[in-house]
Amino acid sequence: MDNQHLALLRAFRGASPLDRIPTREDMAAHLAARHECVGETAFAEFSYLHKVAAEVWGPEATVHFARVLRDASVVSKPRDACCWNSVERQAGVLPEELRPRLLEQIALSRKGRAVLGRTIWSVDYTKSVLRALSAWCHHCHVKGISLHPTAGSLHGYACGLVDAGDESDPVTIGTAANYLQRILAGLAVATGGAGRSQACAFVAIDWRERAKGEAAATKTGRQLVGASALYTLGFRLIDEARDRPLRGVRAATIFRNGLILAVGTALPERARALTWLEFDRTLTLIGGPYIHVDLPGEALKYPEARKAQEGYDVVFENAGLAEALREYRADFRPLFDDGLHLFPSVHGKPGSIRASQLGALTGNLTEREFGVRIPLHRLRDNVATEASENLIGGAYAAKTLLRHVDESITRRHYDHSEGMKAAEEFEDFVEKLRTVRTELIL
């Protein structure tokens, strides 16, 4: 006796473009019945049915097949528990004498409301302070020294961090300086400010100043391919998604990846901010070429006390990007789920993909295209460098794009235009030295 899959396959192969296309409900019922009969084999069968149907009716008309398959085969994962709960557990493993005031600081920061005379910590900063404190406590236990540092013990600890690093996992001077700052910040809260030492503060400042003269370990000149090249790559991926013969989750993923690069270049915000982009909430297409972005302070790198009152609200003009966003929302975004997050997860997890995943994803895409990994945050360097080189205002324009308070921050960490300009001038100089201009046929 013939099975339902083969019967439907024969019907599709004998159909013409004028015949009725099976509805989403029809295909959902078919897949449910086949799954009950043959288990997960039904998903492979259905994928092939989608391919045959797309050849008959076209990829746009059969796009609902992809959503039926995704709804049936991908199980939504539960949302993450509150990150503050993990912070409290992290504090619970510290020595008992340090816990009470730190837990009080966590409870205060969790509320997110400014209190006179107290500093509100972000959850990420709290985690980093607790990690640094935990490492310091372990060091003190091993060495048999007091948890309350002297200038000598703190300096020795930093030297040990740098010396203990190896090529596979280097500890830079900047990392050591960050550890010292967080250790002192954590101990200041844990002890209520008792035992603060100007000598220890001097050691932390000294290491921070040393770090300013150290090149960033995660940044190389090869990562400066230019903002225009990254933006162009984004639209090449979008075109690739449009041209795929099958309109499914794979095409939607390629389109999404192209938007990550295009939006990340046109709106050079940090990865955390981009994960907050959501249609009709933080990102609105307000007609024609105009795009409205309204991010809350919680999404941005602001001091915690400012986050409740401040955000980032901007309207910018970009006809090509606005058109791509409209197409994505109408034709490709619904293939993931019914949500409105701009960058949804492929794996069925509600909401946007994580900031760390955005960085890894852009690294993978750029390594394949340019031969060098350019994480999402490094897009800001490319934008700042190209803006400083080409826009009126130079570094000041780059400072505004990246929303830095101080222009020196942009110059020190993000603007590499002088080096890029020198490289381009040298290339032009070498080109002019050629006396015989011939192309070799190899």
Using one digit for the tens of pLDDT, what is the confidence trace for 344-379?
988 876 778 888 888 899 999 999 998 888 888 777
Residues 299 and 359 placed together within one structural domain of the fold: yes
Residues 39 and 97 in one domain: no
pLDDT recorded at residue 44: 93
CB 246 within 8 A of CB 50: yes
Is residue 409 in some structural domain?
no
442 pLDDT band, cuts 50/70/90, is very low
- Comparing 94-103, 281-290, 296-305, 427-436, the range with the smallest average pLDDT is 427-436
Q: Do residues 40 and 166 both lie within one domain?
A: no
* Alpha carbons 430 and 287: distance in angstroms, whole number: 48
In a domain, 346, yes or no: yes
236 and 367 co-located in one domain: yes
Q: For residue 430, what pLDDT band results from cuts at 50, 70 and 90?
A: very low
Q: What per-residue confidence (pLDDT) applies to 81? A: 58
Q: What confidence score (pLDDT) does residue 214 get?
A: 67
* Residue-level pLDDT at 355: 87
Spatial neighbors of 357 by CB under 8 A, at least 6 apart, are: 345
User: Using an 8 Å Cβ cutoff, are 414 and 384 in contact?
Assistant: yes
Mean pLDDT for the stretch of residues 410-424? 44
Query: Which whole number is the average pLDDT over 151-173?
Result: 79
Residue 217 pLDDT class (50, 70, 90 cuts):
low
Domain closes at, from 333, 353, 381:
381
Of 366, 381, 396, the domain-final residue: 381
Q: What is the mean pLDDT of residues 146-169?
A: 82
Sheet of 283-285: strand order equals: 283-285, 290-296, 311-317
Percent pLDDT > 90 in the chain is 45
Give the mean pLDDT of the chain: 81
Tell whether 334 is covered by a domain.
Answer: yes
Lowest mean pLDDT among 156-160, 232-236, 350-354, 416-420: 416-420
Is there a contact between 345 and 352 (Cβ–Cβ < 8 Å)? yes
Q: Are residues 273 and 341 in the same domain?
A: yes
Residue 341 pairs in a beta bridge with 278
Per-residue pLDDT band for 62 (boundaries 50, 70, 90) equals very high
**What is the model's pLDDT at position 216?**
54
Binned at pLDDT 50, 70 and 90, residue 399 comes out as very low
Domain presence at residue 127: yes
Which of 262 and 412 is assigned the larger pLDDT? Answer: 262
One domain, residues 184 and 254:
no
User: Which residue, of 212, 236, 251, is where some domain finishes?
Assistant: 212
Confidence (pLDDT) at 15: 92
C-beta of residue 69 within 8 angstroms of C-beta of residue 32 = no
3-state secondary structure 316-377: EECHHHHHHHHHHHHHHHHHCCCCCECCECCCCCCCECCHHHHHHHHHHHHHHHHCCCCCHH
Q: Is the pLDDT of residue 435 over 60?
A: no
Shared domain check, 41 and 97? no
pLDDT level of residue 273 (50, 70, 90 thresholds): confident
Give the pLDDT of residue 68.
Answer: 92
Looking at the DSSP assignment, which residues form a beta bridge with residue 311? 296
- 327 and 248 in one domain? yes
Looking at residue 124, which CATH number applies to its domain? 1.10.150
Lowest mean pLDDT among 89-103, 334-348, 375-389: 375-389
**Residue 91 forms part of a structural domain:** yes
**Inter-residue contact 23 to 68 (CB < 8 Å):** no
Lowest mean pLDDT among 223-237, 292-306, 376-390, 396-410: 396-410
The answer to whether residues 245 and 373 belong to one domain is yes
Q: 10 Å Cβ neighbour count for 256?
A: 25
Q: How far apart are the first and last CA of the chain?
A: 62
Q: What is the mean pLDDT of residues 182-193?
A: 92
For the chain, the domain total comes to 3
Angle, to 10 degrees, between the axis of helix 24-38 and the axis of helix 63-73? 40
Q: Against a cut of 0.85, is the pTM above it? A: no
Q: Give me the half-sphere count of Cα atoms (radius 13 Å) on the Cβ side of residue 418.
A: 4
pLDDT at 222: 61
Query: Does residue 398 fall inside a structural domain?
Result: no
Asked if pLDDT for residue 77 goes beyond 80, the answer is no
- pLDDT of 423 > 90? The answer is no
Q: Please check whether residue 416 lies inside any domain of the structure.
A: no
139 inside domain: yes
Are 64 and 176 part of one and the same domain?
A: no
Determine the pLDDT at residue 157.
Answer: 93
Structure tokens, 138: 């372990």
- Report yes or no: 283 and 296 within 8 Å, Cβ to Cβ: no
User: Looking at the structure, do residues 361 and 236 belong to the same domain, yes or no?
Assistant: yes
Q: Which pLDDT belongs to residue 365?
A: 92
* In a shared domain, residues 230 and 373: yes
Domain span at residue 15 reads: 4-73
Phi, psi of 169 (to 5 degrees): -145, 70
Q: Which residue has the higher pLDDT, 428 or 387?
A: 387
